[in-house]
Amino acid sequence: MWAILSVRIKQTGFLGDFHTVNTCVCTTAAYIFVLSHDANHDVRRAVLSCVAASTKTLPHILQKTRDVNDNVRKVAYQVGTENHHASFAN
């Protein structure tokens, strides 16, 4: 079981390697799917640490601020507030 969990956590990091302009939509959709549907808190935390906050991902990041796991909530708050205060100032 730990081997499968480890592979799923590493998979989220590898998705970031394929994140280019042409595959941006596919990678973001994969991150959102895993973030919304994975039952393991370590995988959700790994996805949150890899995903960039944007208008498409921000609602899903903010939804994870109400996660049942403390560490997931902490990372969600960090990602959601990271260097975005200037873009919402208007």
**Mind listing the pLDDT tens digit for each residue in 28-84?**
888 899 899 999 999 999 999 888 888 888 899 999 999 999 999 999 999 888 765
Give yes or no for a contact between 27 and 19, defined as CB atoms under 8 angstroms apart: yes
Instruction: Give the tokens for residue 31.
Output: 């991150």
Residue 21 CA: distances (Å) to CA of 2, 26, 27, 34, 79 = 33, 10, 10, 21, 21
What is the predicted pLDDT for the residue at 89?
A: 42
Helices (H), the chain: 2-17, 24-37, 41-50, 58-63, 70-81
- Give the model's pLDDT for residue 21: 47
Give the pLDDT band (50/70/90) at residue 1: low
| C-alpha radius of gyration, the chain, whole number | 13
CA distance 64 to 45: 9
